Amino acid sequence: MSFAGRDFLKLLDFTPSELEGLLDLSAQLKEQKIKGILHDVKKGKNIALIFEKTSTRTRCSFEVAAYDLGMGVTYLDTIGSQIGAKESIADTARVLSGMYEGIGFRGYSQERVEELAEYASVPVWNGLTDKFHPTQVLADLLTIREHYGRIKGIRLVYMGDARFNMGNSLMVGCALMGMHYTACAPQKYFPDPELVARCSKIASQTGATITFCEDPAEAVAGADVIYTDVWVSMGEPETVWEERIRDLSPYRVTGELMEIAGQQAVFMHCLPSFHDLKTDIGMKIWERYGLTCMEVTDEVFESPRSLVFQQSENRMHTIKAIIYATVV
Q: Which residues bind ligand CP (CB under 6 A)?
A: 55-58, 128, 136, 270-272
Enter the DSSP assignment of 48.
E
Q: Which of 161, 199, 229, 317 is catalytic?
A: 229
Residue 213 known to be catalytic: no
Q: For residue 190, give the nearest of 222, 221, 217, 158 by alpha carbon.
A: 158
Residue 133 known to be catalytic: yes
204-207 own/partner pairs: CB under 8 Å, 24+ apart = 206/16, 206/175, 206/176, 206/177, 206/178, 207/152, 207/153, 207/178
Contact 60, 316 (CB under 8 A): yes
Task: Give the integer Cα–Cα distance in Å for 191 and 168.
Answer: 7
Task: Give the integer Cα–Cα distance in Å for 105 and 112.
Answer: 9
Judged by CB under 6 A, the residue of 93, 203, 270, 293 near ligand NVA is 270
Give the residue closest to ligand NVA by C-beta.
Answer: 233
Q: How many residues does the chain have?
A: 328
Task: Give the integer Cα–Cα distance in Å for 49 and 266.
Answer: 33
Residue 229 known to be catalytic: yes
Q: Is 183 in the site for ligand NVA (CB under 6 A)?
A: no
Residue 106 known to be catalytic: yes
What would the x/- binding string for ligand NVA be over residues 111 to 140, using CB under 6 A?
A: -----------------x------------
Judged by CB under 6 A, the residue of 210, 230, 268, 327 near ligand NVA is 230
Using the rule CB under 6 A, give the single segment among 19-27, 206-214, 230-238, 275-283 that binds ligand NVA.
Answer: 230-238
Residue with smaller CB distance to ligand NVA, 82 or 309:
309
Q: Is 165 in the site for ligand NVA (CB under 6 A)?
A: yes
Q: Which residues are catalytic?
A: 106, 133, 136, 229, 270, 315
